[in-house]
Every structure is written in structure tokens, then in C-alpha cells.
Amino acid sequence: MRICLFPGTFDPVTLGHVDIINRAIPLFDKIIVGIGINTAKAPMFSAEQRLQWINDIYKDEEKVEGAIYEGLTIEYCKKIGARFILRGIRYVSDFEYEKTIADANRTLDKTIETVFLTGEPKYTSVASTIVRDIIKNKGNASPFLPESVYQSLPK
């Protein structure tokens, strides 16, 4: 079984994330959207809220499920039996950063492969950091968010 982990903070889940997940569905038997708990980051939304969004968006897709994890991504892959890590790439700078992480992960476990998907051009400007800033400043974040995420935001 080809199990893939798509790790991230997903704070919030954006249309860019959904684009990568949707295009990865035919490639894997199971995609675990792993909400990583990073003690160095102070998220805007709780891990439970982010997990709920993933579960709501993919309630009708049996191949996608959400999870919350702590610690090294490579160790979580081993725990869930994932042989692949999925990463989305928007820009060349994303690739440089992600390749460094992929190289480190390969050093830690050569049996787990990182797979990169490039985002659709219409989503390249969709970064969670920008979306959080729009939300904080009471702007209209709907063009960047799945409907269920946008509807759940405080008005």
C-alpha cells in the first residue's frame, strides 16, 4: 500500500494545500495530511480546528485523512507506515528549502522518498502567512480558502 504523509502546519488550510492534495490522490492509496506541532511556531488556529477542516474538506474521500503529530516527520512516517512524503512547491526558493529537508530525511531513512508537486499557477500567491494577515486585518480571505474553512472563520 502506497501511504503518503503530507506534513505541514495548515494554519489555515488554503486552496493551495487542497490543490496539492487533490492532484496527489491518484498517486497514492492513502494520504495522511499531518498537522505538525511545531513548538517554535504560534499558530493562529488550534491543531484541532485545522484537523476538523481537513476532515470536513475530505469527508467524502476515503483516501485522505487528517492527523496531528509531534516530533520528526520521518519518525511519524515510520509510525504510520508511510513510504512517501508529499511537498508542494510554489517557487524555486521553495524547492531549495524543501530539497534540504528531503536530503536530511533521506539521510535519516533511505526507504522514505519525498515527492514534490508544483502548485497550480493560480495558487502560487496563496501562502498561509499572507492569508493569516488578511484574516487578522478583517480582509476578505475567501479567494484563498476552501468554502468550509472560510465559513468557519469568525465574522
Q: Give the pLDDT confidence score for residue 126 in this predicted structure.
A: 79
Q: Give the pLDDT confidence score for residue 65 in this predicted structure.
A: 97
Q: Give the pLDDT confidence score for residue 94 in this predicted structure.
A: 85
Catalytic site includes residue 125: no
Q: What is the pLDDT of residues 71-107, one digit of tens each?
A: 999 999 999 999 999 999 988 888 999 999 999 999 9
SS3 at position 136: helix
What CATH superfamily classification does 3-152 receive? HUPs (3.40.50.620)
Q: What percent of the chain has pLDDT over 70?
A: 100
* Residue extents of the structural domains in the chain: 3-152
Q: In what order do the strands lie in the sheet with 64-70?
A: 64-70, 30-37, 3-8, 84-89, 113-118
* Across 12-23, average pLDDT: 96
Catalytic site includes residue 87: no
Q: Across-strand partners of 70?
A: 37
DSSP states of 91-112: SHHHHHHHHHHHHHHHHH-TT-
pLDDT at 40 over 90: no
Of the candidates 2, 41, 59, 79, the residue annotated as catalytic is 41
Of the candidates 46, 78, 87, 128, the residue annotated as catalytic is 128
pLDDT at 41 over 80: no
Taking the model in full, what pTM does it have?
0.94
